[in-house]
Amino acid sequence: MKLAFFDTKPYDMPGFDRYAVQAGIEIKYYETRLNEDTVSLASGFDAVCVFVNDTVNANVVNKLSDLGVQVIALRCAGFNNVDIPRCSGKLRVFRVPAYSPHAVAEHAMALLLTINRRTHKAFIRTREFNFSLQGLAGFDLYGKTVGIIGTGKIGRVFADICRGFGMRILAYDKFPAQNAGLEYVDLPTLFRESDIISLHCPLTDETAHIIDSDSIAMMKKGVTIINTSRGALINTEDLITGIKEKKIGAACLDVYEEEGDLFYEDFSGHIVQDDKLVRLIAMPNVIVTSHQAFLTQEALDNIAATTVENLRKFEAGIPSPETEVVFHS
């Protein structure tokens, strides 16, 4: 099997090279992302491997099919960037549903601890020998209520971490996890009672902008919002307004609604044209990381192993119901 690998980063290659050799898969790495302008690079390949910011819309799907590509291998859990209905009957689509729920959940907690205890600011101060504590006061997580939206593997791991801090946990999910020991409530209740809200749900038509002006209006004054899932779960303009009006006390964002042209690249020597992102980063009670929650050695290894295994099973005609994305009309 020949695999065209798009949006390649140096940390992708060691794991994929190791597992691909074992499976007899030949990989061609491309730094460019897959989109309508680059899809012709897939000519002569059996499969393409894509990540969260590749664009696999209807036109790209049609072109891939015309080029003889048979498989789209997502090296991530989400598939909102792939036109799944258009793939039906043309291309098989596989994903990595659980590369490391601990990696993402731990990053969510790291963001919360950092913004709450101002450790990022303290680090900068002490490097300049400024040992003042002014403006560094946080609050105890113990006894606080955290609302978790989405209780798949990542959401449940995050709940376990929060339990360790002695926090009260409220949960919302369209499909509650059985025997998870979670207190499920409706969204209005979660919004009203939570001191901290963490998003761990997929991006769908139903969850797009689940955080907007209406939901923010229900929240406690000073609420902290964490998003390590998908940027479009939050209406960015409404988030900024909520922060400016001091309704939202802090925001921890590993993802951003319009991240596609920015994240994973170095723009330190450029004037960034995205005014919303610039405003967010300039706010003292906001932390933005560049979609790095997944980035642990264990997760990278699991991503490579699962993606290659998906391709191996496809080639051998072995069903993979737990990893294949199938369109249901």
Which sign, positive or negative, has the C-alpha torsion 29, 34, 38, 42?
positive
291 is catalytic: yes
312 is catalytic: no
Q: Is 326 helix (H, G, I), strand (E, B) or coil?
A: coil
Q: Which of 75, 107, 257, 259 is catalytic?
A: 259
265 is catalytic: no
First to last CA, the chain: 31
- Exposure on the CB side of residue 234, measured as CA atoms within 13 A: 33
Residue from 119, 117, 115, 109 nearest 138 by CA: 117
- Report residue 61 as tokens: 């799907």
Phi, psi of 190 (to 5 degrees): -60, -45
Q: Which of 33, 86, 156, 291 is catalytic?
A: 291
Q: Which of 75, 107, 230, 312 is catalytic?
A: 230
- Per the rule left: phi > 0, alpha: psi between -120 and 50, beta: everything else, 246 is left
Phi, psi of 170 (to 5 degrees): -110, 145
Which amino acid would we find at residue 254? D
Q: Please list the active-site residues.
A: 230, 259, 291
